[in-house]
Amino acid sequence: MAQSSAATPILRIGSRGSPLALVQAREVQARLAAACGLDAERIEIKIIRTTGDVVQDRPLSAVGGKGLFTKEIEEALLSGVIDLAVHSSKDMTTVLPKGLVLSAFLRREDPRDAFISHKAKTLRDLPDGAVLGTASLRRAAMAKRLRPDLAIAPLRGNVETRLRKIEAGEADATLLAVAGLKRLGLLASAPRASRSGPTTPSRARSSPRSTMPIRRPR
């Protein structure tokens, strides 16, 4: 039996499948539906697995760095499989692939890093030689500048996965984006989530571009 026209999507949003990516995609879905007077179900969210999602056994800097969370989504956009994509701007390359444009930006969230640990209230309070888990070169460099004695260990995965790894003792502490914790409703429950993290935020973090649809020009 053919689907009714009421259930047929008229717009397809491409997104990664992580909980945070889907929160951001659903916000775009809801805003577009409200602006156009549509039921949200008429705007489909298509989950696309990216290289960054697949490669979990080594730092992203070892396999190409930027673009690893966007390449497959942008390919789907260019081929017409989806109509727009939602990305965190920190994951994007400086230059977009030919044929794509930035079309909208959401309101900026809190740009700071949160210090997460069961063992200390701040980075300075960690014991000598403690292990800071992070896959971010920026966070590692700034933390080492303040605490040269710290050991840096790769800590990959989505926000919930990294929180579980800290709970399991894989590292003594980590740094996570306050914006992501807030969007997932995890800031209050994160262990000792101090918003006064020691690092300078990425310029792209939580800005109006931190979640962005990209569309093919008509």
Q: Which of 53, 83, 91, 149 is catalytic?
A: 91
Tokens, residue 168: 């399991």
Average pLDDT estimate for 56-78: 81
By DSSP bridging, strand 151-153 and strand 131-133 are parallel
Length of the chain: 218
Please, is 76 exposed, middle or buried when counting C-beta atoms within 10 Å of its C-beta (0-12, 13-18, 19+)? middle
pTM for this structure? 0.80
Average pLDDT of the chain? Answer: 84
pLDDT of residue 188: 82
100 vs 218, higher pLDDT: 100
pLDDT grade for 15, boundaries at 50, 70 and 90: very high
Percentage of the chain lying above the pLDDT 90 cut: 53
pLDDT at 4 over 80: no
Nearest to 76, CA basis, from 40, 44, 32: 44
* Contact assessment for residue 95 and residue 138, using Cβ atoms and an 8 Å cutoff: no
Q: Is 91 a catalytic residue?
A: yes
Is residue 215 helix, strand or coil? strand
Max CA-CA distance within the chain?
67
